[in-house]
Structure 1
Amino acid sequence: MMNIRIDMTDKVAIVTGAASGLGQATALKLAEAGAKLCLADVNGEGLAETQRLLAANDGTSITHVADLSDPAACRALVAATVTHFGRLDALCNVAGLIYLANSPEMPEELWHRTLAVNLTAPFLLSQAAIPHLLDTHGAIVNVASSAAFIGEAYAAAYCASKAGLVNMTKAMAMEFQKKPIRINAIAPGGMITNIVTNFRPPEGCDVELLKRFSGMRGTVEVDDVADMVVMLASPAGRGFHGNCLSIDAGITAG
């Protein structure tokens, strides 16, 4: 029987997108495993709520309000974490956003913002974190999406950013094959998070095309995805490097 023990005692992790959804669930589960956390998000009120939930269960955390589309904010987040805790063991790049639009009509600024948050920010955060993660033999976990592997109508920027994130993960893993760091990604299917509840299809869209976003088995449980992030961030994920693990209820099976 497989027995996976997740132990993050005395380890420090950054979780982006920690104000809600998958980021919040990941933070709670990392704290349960013993990690100390830096919680990052653009939503300060949501971060305060996540911190309150952690404190209620004796979790140790600091919060850092940051717009990750700003390169300086990415570097400052890592610096603040290491300054406060003195180390860094895991970087969990959970933050992400999606804007649906007819491709010919998508505003240029929304294209750039999608790529900035979903792809560039994980790269810049990794740049800043890697020297510290090499010291602690730590891990990076990037949250991609099933949209990295299948086309989704009206989501060209999102699909491009998540596909780029998967291959960035693999490229960086190859670069660090001989170094004591693990770099992996996960690719969830649809989850009931703020992204889904705030889902706004573009005007005049083809509803039949939108239905292809959903698999026959429905959405994925947020807690199940968070468990996978935590496993890869922890020493229990020692056998994984350069992988992208799909948890999408079969949506990319065919």
Structure 2
Amino acid sequence: MGIEIDMKGKAALVTGAASGLGRATAVKLAQAGADLCIVDVNADALAETAAMLDGVQVLTHVANLAEPEACKGAVAAAVAKFGRLDALCNIAGIVKFANSHEMAQSDYLLTIAVNLNAPFFLSQAAIPHLLESNGAIVNCASSAALIGEAYAAAYCASKAGILNMTKSMAMEYSRKPIRINAVAPGGMITNIANGMTMPEGVEYDLIQRFSGLRGQVEVDDVADLFALLASPAGRSYHGACISIDAGITAG
């Protein structure tokens, strides 16, 4: 029997929605009937995403989620528009590869701010509304949360933090009507991946250790998983971190 993902009459907030996984997840949720608040720092690309979302109400909200107040503002805008919030998909993220001893302080702080702090402050603002709607938080972790990846110490730290933050919040709200889960994708072909640069003197055999044998993960496959966990069809998931990485973390 197939899984029916029905989000009609519900509202979801998706970050990082201007491209890649965030855009694909917004499309999947719109297809399931959800009204959407889509958030990103890239206004032009966010408008392109909005044009793909047919048959539902869409609010585009441009914000720099590295700022805690911007996180709170995004949630407030969604609730003001739709009068409710049923799902928060924390997908916005960045990665900057560097030799750890050479990484710029600004790059480190930005990585933590976008990948770890923003999901916390978004969740903090969203939880009161999600408790009212029996809603869900779905965080974007990574295979980098589960294994060490050379030249990505800041990114790995941020994603490991997301994984344990997910589990900690799930325990905290284990007796409350909210579901909190994470998805841990492997490498995908997205704007983040396309814009990556490696530091000088990189040892590519170390990178191959976390590249996997089966190639890149399909973005749409990961988006399907986000939509499932954001919807009532994911009712039995709580405190889970689901790997979808084509075997990278298998051993």
TM-score of Structure 1 vs Structure 2, range by shorter chain = over 0.9
- The CA deviation at 1:204 is 1.5
Deviation per CA, 1:47-86, whole angstroms, max 9, x where unpaired?
Answer: 00000111xx323211000010000100000001001110
Moved more, 2-11 or 143-152: 2-11
Structure 1 equivalent of residue 169 of structure 2: 172
Matching of residue 204 in structure 1 with residue 197 in structure 2: no
Structure 1 equivalent of residue 41 of structure 2: 42
User: What are structure 2's unaligned runs of at least 5 residues?
Assistant: none
Moved more, 24-33 or 199-208: 199-208
- Residues of 1 paired with 2:222 and 2:42: CA distance? 22
Structure 2 equivalent of residue 237 of structure 1: 234
- The CA deviation at 1:213 is 2.8
Aligned partner of 1:77 among 74, 77, 82: 74
Structure 2 equivalent of residue 225 of structure 1: 222
Matching of residue 188 in structure 1 with residue 185 in structure 2: yes
Matching of residue 159 in structure 1 with residue 156 in structure 2: yes
- Residues of 2 paired with 1:84 and 1:197: CA distance? 34
Instruction: Name the aligned partner's letter for residue 233 of structure 2.
Output: A
Structure 2 equivalent of residue 67 of structure 1: 64
Structure 2 equivalent of residue 14 of structure 1: 13
- The CA deviation at 1:96 is 0.5
- The CA deviation at 1:35 is 0.1
Instruction: Name the aligned partner's letter for residue 223 of structure 2.
Output: A
Moved more, 123-132 or 201-210: 201-210
Instruction: Name the aligned partner's letter for residue 238 of structure 2.
Output: H
- The CA deviation at 1:103 is 0.2
Instruction: Name the aligned partner's letter for residue 8 of structure 1.
Output: M
SS of structure 2 residue aligned to 1:73: helix
Matching of residue 30 in structure 1 with residue 29 in structure 2: yes
Deviation per CA, 1:16-48, whole angstroms, max 9, x where unpaired?
Answer: 000000000000000000000000001001100
- The CA deviation at 1:3 is 2.4
User: How many corresponding residue pairs?
Assistant: 251
Q: Compute the TM-score of the two structures, normalised by the length of structure 2.
A: 0.99
Moved over 6 A (4+): none
- Residues of 2 paired with 1:186 and 1:225: CA distance? 8
- Residues of 1 paired with 2:208 and 2:241: CA distance? 25
Deviation per CA, 1:69-110, whole angstroms, max 9, x where unpaired?
Answer: 000100000001001110000000000100000000001111
Identity of aligned residues (%): 67
- The CA deviation at 1:212 is 2.0
- The CA deviation at 1:199 is 1.5
- The CA deviation at 1:114 is 0.4
- Residues of 2 paired with 1:51 and 1:3: CA distance? 28
SS of structure 2 residue aligned to 1:213: coil
- Residues of 1 paired with 2:22 and 2:12: CA distance? 12
- Residues of 2 paired with 1:138 and 1:53: CA distance? 24
Instruction: Name the aligned partner's letter for residue 183 of structure 1.
Output: I
Q: Compute the TM-score of the two structures, normalised by the length of structure 1.
A: 0.98
- The CA deviation at 1:195 is 1.0
